[in-house]
Each structure stands twice: as structure tokens, then as C-alpha cells.
Structure 1
């Protein structure tokens, strides 16, 4: 097995669990989604930071925690994902981390992460999101 490719069986199981988790998110069953993502993450070899699969699993986990209003757990998952491949600079990851920081009252960090999301994707990244996040960013940086 090369260092950048998961075993086919493990990869297939991870994909299956994540798809199952995604289906639970679609019906707002975040606890079951979280369970699926946690199971998938346990299949990733250590160190998890070397695997691209960790990026999307941890992001999905953090997002499910965010939607379930478990902001401390969301913060941990989204901070962990930042150590994984292709996470830094991903506007959606920065958006969710900024929203979590906002909800936890970490406004300096929230502003930084929300600005990274805005710089990467523009105002469109906030479409479909609660307006308070973009309004906060506009106020803080005079957009």
C-alpha cells in the first residue's frame, strides 16, 4: 500500500459509512450522521493527518456537530481537519470553522475564518447560511 492510497476495502467501507452519514444529515438526523462519520474516521490509518480521506470525514463530522449545535465538538473536528491535506484554503471548511468560532464567542477567530471563506469564494459562500455570519463580517471589515 502506498503512502497516499488507502487499501481498497478500507476506502470502500469509509465511503459507504460517509454516504450513510450524508443521508442522515439530509433528514436532519445528526446524531446518526455523527455516529457514521466517527466509524469512518476510526478506519483511517494513523497518522490520520496524512490521508485525504481524513479531510472530508472530519469536515463532515464537524459540520454534523455544527448542525446539531454541539459547537465545542464541531470546533475540535474542524480544527483537526486543518492539519489534513487540502484543508487550509478550502472556503467551506473556513466558513464552518468561522461559524463555530462565532457561536462559541471567539469573535477574533470567527472574523479571521469567515474572511478566509469570503476571500476564497466571495459573498456566494454565505448563500443559504444564516445572515448573521455575513452581517458580522461586513460590520467587522467594512465590506
Structure 2
């Protein structure tokens, strides 16, 4: 199934607005823009590819803005959408959230899923503490 073209275009517009706001560290406003896109996704929302990337954008803006509970909620729901489970970025963020919350077993599991899916490159622009932590739980290829 594909979204109606006019709905898809509006979703992309709201997400582009959200991306621009997130790029300028206006995370609350970015989430508001992404939520406008989310509202346009037809039910059941878990059937659409757009849901996965909208929820990932919401989760990321929440993560970067320091809203851990909202970030975890968005990324966890994204796992139920097409391509969510196994998406290295989603697993990385869930691992970072678990790490920061002190749930180190869950952090190791999620960070390893990200590492296995995308290698250490996915951690290139992230705080080194996450990859360093993962290196204490698993034998990683290359320098940590």
C-alpha cells in the first residue's frame, strides 16, 4: 500500500520543516512539526513506511532535546512499523537511552543490534561513551 500522493507530499513538507528546526536545535518545535506529519498517517499507523521514519524523527528530536521518555516511546513504537525492527539507527538510540537510564543489559543488546547492522560508522557522530561501553560487553572489530 502506498499513501495518497497529496498526503505523502504534506507529510514530507511537515517533516522537512521538522528537520530544519531540529538542525537549528529547536527540538520542541521540530517535534510539533513531526507530529503534524504523524497526524496525517492513516490508521492503522503501523502499516505505513512513513510511520517508521516519522517516529524516528520524533524520537531523535526528543533524544537530542533531552526528552528521554518521549524519545523511548517514539522509538519503541517505531519498532512495530515496517522496517523498524532491525533499523540500526532506531536500535542505537534505544541503546543510548537504556545506557543513560542505567539499564546496561538492554543498552548492550540495542547497541549491539545497531553495531551489527551498521558497524562502528553509525557511532561516528555520537558520544564515544556508547561505543566504548559496547566494547566492554562484546569484542568489536577495530579500535574502539
Which category describes the TM-score, using the shorter chain as reference length?
Answer: over 0.9
Q: Which whole-Å CA distance do the structure 1 matches of 2:38 and 2:103 have between them?
A: 27
| Counterpart secondary structure, 1:46 | coil
- Where in structure 1 do 4 or more consecutive aligned residues deviate above 4 Å? none
Which aligned pairs between 1:1-143 and structure 2 lie closer than 5 A? 4-143=1-140
Output one character per residue of 1:76-124: Cα deviation in whole Å (capped at 9) or x when no partner.
Answer: 0000000000111111111111111112222111110100011111111
Count of aligned pairs between the two proteins: 140
1:114–1:137: 8 Å Cα contact kept in structure 2?
yes
Q: Which whole-Å CA distance do the structure 2 matches of 1:62 and 1:101 have between them?
A: 14
In structure 1, runs of 5+ residues without a counterpart are none
| Counterpart secondary structure, 2:82 | coil
Q: CA deviation at 1:48?
A: 0.5
Q: Which whole-Å CA distance do the structure 1 matches of 2:8 and 2:101 have between them?
A: 34
TM-score, length basis structure 1: 0.94
CA RMSD of aligned residues (A): 0.9
